[in-house]
Amino acid sequence: MLTEAAELEHGIMCCYLFAAFSMKRGVDEGITEEQLKSVRRWRRTILQISIEEMLHMCLACNLLTAVGGAPHLRRPNLPVSPKAYPPSFKLELAPFCRETLENFIFIERPEDPDSGTGSPFPQSPKLSDIFSSAREYQSQGRLYHGIEDGLQYLSQKYGEDGLFLGPHNAQIAGAYFNLPGLNPVIDLSSAEAALQGIIVQGEGGRGFSKDSHHGRFIAIQDEYEQVLKDDPAFVPARPVIWNPYSMLPSDVDIDSEVNLIEDPLSIDISNLFDGCYEILIQVLGRLFAHAEETEDQLKQLSDITEGLMVDVIGPLGDALTLLPAGPSHSGQTAGPSFRFSRDVNTPPHGDAARALFVERFKELSAYCGFLETSGSIATVLTRVRRSLAQYADQLSSSSRAD
């Protein structure tokens, strides 16, 4: 269940990031100054919630490490199969709109059945009982309460020392990332604190909380409806295609609602984004699986992880939503797919991992230079190319110093 929790948080984070990237950034995109203020405020909120989803994923990985498991950073490509999670979870890459926001509110809904947030999607029959321990939950809160119950049971059965046997120093804590609440799990008390923190921050616990993810999405929805009341023609997002891919992933069904990007430059930028996203996850995975690294090396990896998110993933994600999707999608734009290839895994050895990262950063930086672009996308690629080259130099320098 912890593995499923980490996977679910990762997928939800990507859905939120995609929606944020799709949102308009200026009045030249057909909105007024007042509407732009609202869109910017909503975008900031969604990006902050995305960061908190990353915190939840990290806490789930810490919990896995604490009980002797392996951190889990893989996930299915989006949109996920209806069989991947309980049918109430609809994870797909969708631009910001009423339907998307309604889905976000449903994903983050509280456990309270009287909260007034029934499913807007048709429900499938229950999965087989053989999967009940991992699948029979209708909300994130129920999943985490199930994990909490399981840890309490196992703690009574084996004792806390017999349950929390993973190395404490192998976990990720606030010393590496500025994520309040990212604390190591060392016993049942700290495990319960981590789980309750996820529940309260996400859905607000048992009932409505305006500060939870659910409450903040409700606030956006209320403001959105008011803007639409004043201007029924208001559109807050760019015309981004749903579930865009430069190529169909092997784990996504050909009959699913995937849209293939056809414009040559957009395909190149999409591939670059996916390559940068993959190495971001690999670097983050090395932080979770570290064993040989010094404190300075771990801090370097965490700095590179943050740099990738701010200076590479963010600019490329925004840029893709301005590029044409291709002839079959007239008037529509591309978007980031967060695509995983099947061979993306965390390198298990420190020295080899750093060598692999250096090589990959150099390849991706060179790829930026090969692309023939102009205007704003050229500016973005220059920034990305320099950042990637800088990460390669930093890792090379630290390896030589060793």
3-state secondary structure of 68: coil
**Which amino acid is present at 11?**
G
CA-closest candidate to residue 322, choices 228, 393, 239 = 239
Instruction: State how far the Cα of 309 lies from the Cα of 311, in Å rounded to an integer.
Output: 6
Dihedral pair phi/psi, residue 23, rounded to 5°: -75, 145
Q: Answer whether residue 136 shows pLDDT above 70.
A: no
Average pLDDT of span 100-107: 96
Instruction: State how far the Cα of 106 lies from the Cα of 322, in Å rounded to an integer.
Output: 29
Q: 155-169, 202-216, 377-391: lowest mean pLDDT where?
A: 202-216
Taking a C-beta distance cutoff of 8 angstroms, is the pair 214, 202 a contact?
yes
Report the percentage of the chain scoring pLDDT > 70: 91
- What pLDDT, on the 0 to 100 scale, is given for residue 116? 41
**Token duo for residue 182:** 């990212």
CB-based contacts of 326: which residues, under 8 Å, 6+ apart?
260, 261, 262, 263, 266, 334
CA-closest candidate to residue 362, choices 268, 264, 279, 277 = 279
Instruction: Please give the angle made by the CA atoms of 9, 15 and 16, to the nearest 5 degrees.
Output: 90
**Residue 335 binned pLDDT confidence (cut-offs 50, 70, 90):** very high
3-state secondary structure of 244: strand
- What pLDDT, on the 0 to 100 scale, is given for residue 117? 40
Q: 32-41, 234-243, 245-254, 359-368: lowest mean pLDDT where?
A: 245-254
- What pLDDT, on the 0 to 100 scale, is given for residue 204? 59
Q: Answer whether residue 330 shows pLDDT above 90.
A: yes
Q: Answer whether residue 137 shows pLDDT above 80.
A: no
Q: Which range, 25-34, 85-94, 191-200, 286-295, has the best average confidence (pLDDT)? A: 25-34
**Which amino acid is present at 365?**
S
Report the percentage of the chain scoring pLDDT > 90: 71
Q: 120-124, 206-210, 382-386: lowest mean pLDDT where?
A: 120-124
- Sign of the torsion angle spanned by Cα atoms 43, 44, 45, 47: positive
This prediction has a pTM of: 0.92
- What pLDDT, on the 0 to 100 scale, is given for residue 375? 87
Range 98-105, long-range pairs (CB < 8 A, 24+ positions) = 98/224, 100/19, 101/217, 101/220, 101/221, 101/224, 102/221, 104/15, 104/16, 104/19, 104/217, 105/214, 105/217, 105/218, 105/221
The average confidence (pLDDT) of the chain is 89
- What pLDDT, on the 0 to 100 scale, is given for residue 216? 97
Q: Answer whether residue 126 shows pLDDT above 70.
A: no
- What pLDDT, on the 0 to 100 scale, is given for residue 124? 44
Burial class of residue 192, CB neighbours in 10 A (0-12, 13-18, 19+): middle
List, in order of start, the domains of the chain with CATH numbers.
1-238 (1.20.1260.10), 239-402 (1.20.1260)
**Residue 348 binned pLDDT confidence (cut-offs 50, 70, 90):** confident
Q: Answer whether residue 173 shows pLDDT above 80.
A: yes
- What pLDDT, on the 0 to 100 scale, is given for residue 213? 95
